[in-house]
């Protein structure tokens, strides 16, 4: 176990922010995360964090996953002092960071997210992993499941997918997995592409519209200029930015600000 003092990070806010569906609360202040075929427990006590992994694994995986090299304090300070709404959104979601998640997992996750809510998305992703993901164990014997690879999804087929309560989204997932295997969706090319190119390629795929492509770009490719607009964000923009959001002012970090706004709206609606 290792200990770190980290500013601008709150696990509860991230787990509830709608960007990560395999971070779950185990007990008060303790969260589990499954990513990149690894399992981690994190305990938060204020700005002190305790990670159930060795130093090497933390440096190779979790440091980057939690985006610890980005100065979120500076981003928050850049918010226009006269923008009362955005200032309040930042205060509400002060500990949110954009996690650097696996691209394939984010493609599937945001296909599932369409016309869905966070609770149902979480359940669907968990069931998908339990049904098609590889069963793994930590050194301490904790069982967990890897996110299923495209090969596993295609091998299981539509018959298995149709039992998971995914609705019409099951065929999106199946055909996208097929596209990865036949090369018509090149994950390595997407990882190397700029935002505009990646977005353009993603919307060519069956079931991926502009909003889902933006979510994949933001959460799966870390293009933090991506600014997904769903029904929540559309309402926010119409109410608080009728002349348009000032993207030019926040060039290069719009996706981070979008997360503060999205989270603030979720909390207000709860």
pLDDT at residue 270 greater than cutoff 80: no
List the catalytic residue out of 38, 149, 211, 267.
Answer: 211
**Architecture in CATH for domain 103-220:** Orthogonal Bundle (1.10)
* pLDDT band for position 268 (cuts 50, 70, 90): confident
Q: Which CATH number fits domain 2-92: 3.40.630.30, 3.30.310.260, 3.90.1280.20, 1.10.10.10?
A: 3.30.310.260
Residue-wise pLDDT for 98-119, tens only, equals 999 999 999 999 999 998 888 9
| Mean pLDDT on 173-197 | 97
Per-residue confidence at 61, pLDDT binned at 50, 70, 90? Answer: very high
pTM over 0.75: yes
Strand partners, 38: 35
Residue 98 Cα distances to 67, 104, 159, 171, 263, angstroms: 7, 17, 35, 28, 12
Assess whether pLDDT exceeds 90 at residue 66.
yes
Predicted pLDDT at 267: 87
pLDDT in tens, 2-50: 999 999 999 999 999 999 999 999 999 999 999 999 999 999 999 999 9
Average pLDDT, the chain: 96
For 54, phi then psi, to 5°, come to: -80, 165
Alpha helices in 8-83 (DSSP H): 11-15, 55-57, 63-65, 72-77
What does the domain layout of the chain look like in residue ranges?
2-92, 103-220
Based on the residue annotation, tell me whether 204 is a catalytic residue of this protein: no
Residues β-bridged to residue 3: 50
pLDDT above 80 for 179: yes
């Amino acid at each position: 176990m290792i200990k770190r003092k980290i500013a601008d990070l709150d696990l509860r806010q991230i787990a509830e922010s709608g960007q990560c569906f395999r971070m779950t609360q185990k007990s008060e202040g303790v969260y589990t995360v499954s990513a990149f075929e690894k399992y981690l427990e994190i305990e938060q006590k204020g700005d002190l964090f305790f990670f159930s992994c060795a130093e090497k694994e933390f440096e190779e995986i979790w440091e980057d996953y939690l985006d610890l090299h980005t100065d979120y304090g500076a981003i928050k300070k850049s918010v226009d002092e006269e923008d009362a709404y955005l200032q309040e959104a930042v205060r509400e979601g002060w500990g949110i960071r954009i996690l650097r998640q696996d691209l394939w997992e984010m493609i599937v996750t945001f296909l599932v997210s369409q016309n869905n809510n966070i609770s149902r998305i979480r359940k669907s992703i968990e069931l998908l992993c339990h049904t098609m993901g590889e069963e793994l164990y930590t050194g301490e014997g904790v069982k967990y499941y890897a996110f299923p690879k495209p090969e596993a999804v295609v091998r299981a087929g539509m018959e298995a997918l149709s039992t998971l309560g995914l609705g019409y989204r099951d065929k999106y997932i199946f055909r996208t997995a097929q596209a990865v295997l036949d090369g018509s969706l090149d994950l390595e090319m997407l990882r190397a592409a700029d935002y505009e190119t990646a977005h353009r390629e993603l919307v060519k795929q069956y079931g991926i519209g502009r909003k889902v492509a933006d979510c994949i770009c933001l959460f799966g490719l870390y293009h933090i200029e991506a600014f997904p607009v769903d029904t929540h964000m559309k309402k926010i923009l119409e109410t608080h930015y009728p002349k348009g959001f000032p993207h030019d002012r926040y060039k290069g970090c719009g996706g981070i600000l979008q997360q503060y706004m999205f989270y603030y709206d979720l909390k207000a609606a709860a």
